[in-house]
Amino acid sequence: MKRPSTGAVILSRFSSRRLPGKALMPLGGRPLLAFVIERVRTVLPTERIVVATSVEASDDPIAAFCQAHQVTCYRGDLHDVAARFVGAARTAGFDFACRINGDNAFVDAPTLRDMLQLADSNDYDFVTNVHGRTFPVGMSIEIVRTEFMLRLLRHLDAPEHREHVTLALYQRPHLGRRRYVYNTGLPRAAGLHLAIDEFADLARARALVARMTGPHTDYDLARLLQLLPAEPPCSTRSSPA
């Protein structure tokens, strides 16, 4: 059986409501988007990574960044994020698309690698580590079969389903063959907030990176936890997947 083509779609926009321009704000000596791409690149080659942003002029800086760094950029609707995600995956020829949020600075490479292997088995339509929230917010990884997501998209009209890419899948657990991935080895990580939603999150991320003694790509979830105090300062705020 032919091995399916699987790639990552990094969703990014410049016009963040709570922290405008965060996609290109510096973290560890490079723009946040570059930081995320570097972590994904430890698992996937550059040609299997697509940045999906909007066609709005406000996202021209992201497109320019992609061109300068030779990363594929797909541009779609600003608000219909689900259609933008699927469009990026289909244009790239991905049988499976891994959704990565552009503000998830600390993508966990071992988890991403394991989940990609599950997708490559071709046994599932949806593989996610979000169910049950055993991983920190900001380490969300969701992999969907592109054609499965396209069929679902044709039946989604509610604005919240178009904005929050996989929300409908969690609300319809009977759809598709799925595999939930849980963090069983590091229970302390559950509930941590590592996504960069506002400036305080970015400041925490910068402080975390400043404690690293080697390349940030060497720091998986286990090593990141070692950098945090026993009572982590990170908020446990909830956040969309």
Give the pLDDT confidence score for residue 231 in this predicted structure.
Answer: 52
Mean pLDDT of the region 214-232: 88
Per-residue pLDDT tens for 119-157?
A: 999 999 999 999 999 999 999 999 999 999 999 999 888
Q: Which amino acid is at 70?
A: Q
Whether 232 is in a domain gets the answer: no
| Cβ atoms of residues 206 and 212 within 8 Å | no
Per-residue pLDDT tens for 3-20?
A: 789 999 999 999 888 999
Q: How far is CA 93 from the centre of its chain?
A: 19
Tally the domains of the chain.
1
Give the pLDDT confidence score for residue 14 in this predicted structure.
Answer: 93
Query: How many CA atoms lie less than 13 Å away from 139 in the CB half-sphere?
Result: 27
Give the pLDDT confidence score for residue 234 in this predicted structure.
Answer: 46
Whether 177 is in a domain gets the answer: yes
Whether 239 is in a domain gets the answer: no
Mean pLDDT of the region 184-188: 94
Whether 237 is in a domain gets the answer: no
Whether 194 is in a domain gets the answer: yes
Structure tokens at 132: 């049950």
Kindly state the percentage of the chain with pLDDT values over 70: 95
The answer, yes or no, to whether residue 186 has pLDDT greater than 70, is: yes
Whether 238 is in a domain gets the answer: no
Whether 199 is in a domain gets the answer: yes
| Number of alpha helices (DSSP H) and beta strands (DSSP E) in the chain | 9, 9
Question: Strand 178-180 to strand 126-128: parallel, antiparallel, or no bridges (unpaired)?
Answer: parallel
The answer, yes or no, to whether residue 236 has pLDDT greater than 90, is: no
Q: The domain containing residue 219 runs over which residues?
A: 6-227
CATH of the domain at 210: 3.90.550.10
Whether 1 is in a domain gets the answer: no
| Cβ atoms of residues 78 and 13 within 8 Å | yes
Per-residue pLDDT tens for 33-87?
A: 999 999 999 999 999 999 999 999 999 999 999 999 999 999 999 999 999 999 9
What residue has token string 């088995």? 121
